[in-house]
Amino acid sequence: MMSRAEKKKKREKMIEEQGLIYLDKVSKSYSTGAPALNGVTLHIKQGEFVFIVGDSGSGKSTLIKLLLRELTATQGAVYVMGQNLAKLRHGKIPKYRRNLGVVFQDFRLLNDRNVYDNVAFAQRIVEVRPREIRKNVPNILKTVGLAGKYKAKTKQLSGGEQQRVALARALINKPAILLADEPTGNLDPKNSWEIMQLLEEINEAGTTVVVVTHNREIVNAMHKRVIAMRKGVIISDEEEGEYTDED
Ligand code: ADP
Ligand code: MG
């Protein structure tokens, strides 16, 4: 048996050598159809900002779900923060997920609650002390540009404001990694830019950010690493890449 200290050392070595996120020849098949991911190898270093682009059905959301440990790989291995997710015991999954913040196209807020409660909720479930919560929530709401909107019910907010609430909720527990699956898919161009700019700021403050998007204009303007997928494989991976059509 490895001691706790030895395990930690092994994880740190894995992060240093392979990245904070490491997919080693990963395939994922659902019960029907062609594999959603087919032999994907990928390294994302700590502190990177990465776009994942590709047509609908190319496996982008499957990749995000593997990182969230909502799914497990059919073949190959997924390592996040040096940890092989296939070896993560069920009871450890909630603790693992505290390292991740996640936002989706459809916001997924509690629509009968106000902004404050939506964000505070993420802290209550990890048992942060009430006094801390009362300090943290206003701070994070200020970061996402929602100071003063605490009491609004989320269903009364615009799409852009709702996505800011979702972002605040994703960030309040200070995750190492932020995963965003088409975060601007329901937003107009102005709000899309503002959300992307927030993601960039979050990245500059040290969080590793992975963004799945179809927003060609933004990808081309931001000069970040771009990983393009098609039919379950990576077809290109470029530093300061562009959103190109392969067809
Ligand atoms: P993307 O996010 O790039 O649009 P997905 O990862 O959602 O792609 O889907 C990749 C492929 O896997 C698609 O062919 C899709 O139909 C299939 N797929 C996704 N989820 C499921 C599921 N739960 N059951 C069966 N097939 C699925
Ligand atoms: Mg998708």
- On average, the pLDDT of the chain sits at 95
Residue 7 CA, ligand 1 centroid: distance in Å: 34
Mind listing the pLDDT tens digit for each residue in 138-172?
999 999 999 989 999 999 999 999 999 999 999 99
Does 1 score more than 90 pLDDT? no
Q: Give the global pTM.
A: 0.96
Ligand 1 atom nearest residue 37's Cα: 10
CB 147 near ligand 1, within 6 Å = no
60 lines ligand 1 (CB under 6 A): yes
At 244 the pLDDT is 77
Mean pLDDT, to the nearest integer, of 224-240? Answer: 97
DSSP string computed for the chain: ---HHHHHHHHHHHHHHH-SEEEEEEEE--SSSS-SEEEEEEEE-TT-EEEEE--TTSSHHHHHHHHTTSS--SEEEEEETTEEGGG--GGGHHHHHTTEEEEETT----TTSBHHHHHHHHHHTTT--HHHHHHHHHHHHHHTT-TT-TTSBGGGS-HHHHHHHHHHHHHTT--SEEEEESTTTTS-HHHHHHHHHHHHHHHHTT-EEEEE---HHHHHHHT-EEEEEETTEEEEEETT-------
Instruction: Average the pLDDT over 76-105 and give the result.
Output: 96
Residue 246 has pLDDT above 70, yes or no: no
Tell whether the model's pLDDT for residue 100 goes beyond 70.
yes
Q: Looking at residue 247, what is its pLDDT?
A: 46
Instruction: Please report which confidence band the pLDDT of residue 213 belongs to, taking 50, 70 and 90 as the band edges.
Output: very high
Q: How many Å lie between the centroid of ligand 1 and the Cα of residue 167?
A: 25
Percent of the chain with pLDDT over 70: 99
**Mutational pocket test of ligand 1: of 27, 28, 30, 106, the residue with most ligand atoms within 8 Å of the beta carbon:** 30
Residue 122 scores a pLDDT above 60 = yes
The pLDDT value given to residue 245: 65
45 confidence band (pLDDT: 50, 70, 90): very high
Higher pLDDT, 1 or 198: 198
How do residues 4-37 score in pLDDT, each as one tens digit?
999 999 999 999 999 999 999 999 999 988 999 9
